[in-house]
Homo-oligomer: A and B are copies of this chain.
């Protein structure tokens, strides 16, 4: 495979997309949704082949569940496209504007990136989601999915491309790259100048390898070693509710809590209740020595535990001497995703939010709220844990750049 050809086609498509009006792009999204519903059978045939191969190769159940499509899941994906159509168009927004002292009119205007590369794992719903969000934001997309979903993705992309063409948009706005070897991913990561930005979506090792190898600018998403800190001044009932929600409401996602920190002043009152409630919810606690005093079923926590994004019904736990110690612990072990403090103290809340250097810092609220949908952004392509360009949930504006348009009347310096 040579990335040059699909990337060049994507660039041409991007030129057209950048000029497409919202009305045209929204019609494209509805056409994609219609086509997915009309041709679900075709998509499910491809998906069945992938699932059969996964079964043969002994893929774990969780992996097969992520891979599986159904009539309902395809309908959900189509619905998501229609919801994107209802969102405002980020392109053309004037971010900043003024008339300079010399009369020059300055406008900073939101424009699409151009060509976005997405490298992802075996979740075919990402194919539809990424195609939709890129179209809405005026970007062409090069999709490099997992070989385990190759037939599902091929069927989906065929449907989406036909729909684009029907709507008068360039089919090459959505292209699927060969996933049979690592070659296409490698080429995509080295396609600086052809591809404007690369977004890896998947586990820690995928993201790490993209960050290491890519010369194309990368937006890092998704590792969440999220903390709940129960302050000396916490309402302990509230703390328990937030802890249980953050840990158990959906343990497999990046904004679920993975670590509990308890101020020593409230440890005797809080930990017996918390450990019992966690055990009742099926959660295994990996605690430091001070935590283990309060519960027999607490496993000893290793250094590794405090660094781990479990994504399961496990949580690490430690007693800390102070808010300062909690902040230091988070700085050392955290991944910069979401950290919550439970406190009634305005001073503690102010210090925690100022000092914790994460994409989201929550006061008296569950870490589960760090989410584009919850934040009211509509579509979300992922949650950035880096500081450059976008941090936290990324919606449509985060998939754009800006340019300055400067209008004069013969102005010279």
Taking Cβ atoms with an 8 Å cutoff, the residues of A that contact B are 15, 18-19, 98, 100-101, 104, 106, 108, 111, 113-114, 192, 196-197, 211-212, 215, 217-219, 235, 238, 241-242, 244-246, 249, 331, 349, 353-355, 357-366, 368-370, 374-376, 386-389, 391-392, 401-413
- Tell me, in angstroms, the Cα distance from A244 to B412 when the chains sit together: 9
Contact of A405 among B18, B361, B391 (CB under 8 A): B361
Known: A98-B376, A365-B104, A388-B388. A358 touches B412 (CB 8 A): no
Q: Nearest 8 A-B pairs (CB), nearest first?
A: A365-B408, A245-B412, A387-B401, A389-B389, A238-B410, A365-B411, A217-B388, A360-B404
- Write the nearest CB–CB distance from A142 to chain B, whole angstroms: 16
Closest chain-B Cβ to A364's Cβ sits at a distance in Å of 5
- Residue of A354, A376, A401, A411 contacting most chain B CB atoms (<10 Å): A411
Q: Given A391-B402, A404-B361, verify A413-B366 contact (CB < 8 Å).
A: yes
Secondary structure call for the A interface: mixed
Partner of A412, one of B366, B401, B406: B366
> Which interface residue of A217, A244, A374, A404 has the most chain B CB atoms within 10 A?
A404
Partner of A404, one of B359, B387, B402: B359
Please tell me which one of the listed residues B242, B387, B403 contacts residue A196 in the complex, with CB atoms under 8 A apart: B387
Say whether B100 contacts A406, CB under 8 Å: no
CA–CA, A192 and B336, complex, Å: 14
Distance, CA A113 to CA B357, complexed state (A)? 9
Interface contact A401-B376, CB-CB below 8 Å: no
Is there contact, CB below 8 Å, between B376 and A406?
no
CB contact between A413 and one of B368, B402, B413 (< 8 Å): that residue: B368
A403 and B242 form a contact (CB under 8 A): no
In the complex, are the beta carbons of A374 and B196 less than 8 A apart?
Answer: no
Q: Give the CA-CA distance A217 to B197 in the complex, in Å.
A: 12
Could you tell me the distance in whole angstroms from the C-beta of A371 to the nearest C-beta in chain B? 9
Chain B residues positioned under 8 Å from A249 (CB to CB): 412-413
For residue A369, give the distance in angstroms from its CB to the closest CB of chain B: 6
Chain B nearest Cβ from A400, distance in angstroms: 9
